């Protein structure tokens, strides 16, 4: 489990007592680079992030996103939220390339991979 120093000590102690590997990354909030370094130091180099638009936006802002898996389903819905990422735009757009597309039961599963060393004209 990844947490920060400001998290309640008792909760962290209970998790450690239960056998959970608790890693502190940051003071008042989880430091995202540290959060990715901690599993890498344990040999875990792939991370699947399903935290929602705020976490995804923070990862994009820190330039920590290498791939994007996107599911497109045939549902018409309303609402105020219109983005998969809620965070200020990065200074430079980050181009990605289509890696795969799968179709099943009317849904598309699309995977994009980050193009390193390229720039995007806006």
Cβ 64 vs Cβ 32: under 8 Å: yes
pLDDT digits (tens, 9 = 90+) for 77-108: 777 766 778 777 666 778 899 999 999 999 99
Per-residue confidence (pLDDT) for residue 122, from 0 to 100: 41
* The dihedral sign for the CA sequence 21, 30, 87, 91: negative
pLDDT digits (tens, 9 = 90+) for 48-66: 878 788 888 888 888 888 8
Please state, in angstroms and rounded to a whole number, the distance separating the CA atoms of residues 69 and 92.
21
What's the pTM value of the predicted model, to 2 decimals?
0.74
pLDDT digits (tens, 9 = 90+) for 8-47: 999 889 999 999 989 999 999 999 999 999 888 989 888 8
Please state, in angstroms and rounded to a whole number, the distance separating the CA atoms of residues 87 and 109.
24
């Amino acid at each position: 489990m990844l947490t920060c120093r400001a998290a309640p000590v008792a909760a962290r102690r209970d998790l450690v007592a239960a056998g959970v590997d608790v890693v502190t990354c940051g003071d008042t909030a989880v430091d995202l680079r540290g959060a990715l370094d901690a599993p890498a130091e344990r040999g875990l180099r792939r991370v699947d992030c399903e935290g929602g638009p705020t976490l995804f936006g923070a990862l994009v802002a820190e330039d920590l996103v290498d791939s994007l898996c996107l599911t497109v389903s045939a549902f018409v819905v309303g609402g105020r939220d219109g983005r998969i990422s809620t965070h200020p735009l990065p200074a430079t757009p980050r181009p990605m390339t289509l890696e795969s597309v799968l179709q099943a039961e009317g849904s598309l599963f699309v995977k994009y991979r980050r193009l390193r060393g390229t720039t995007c004209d806006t």
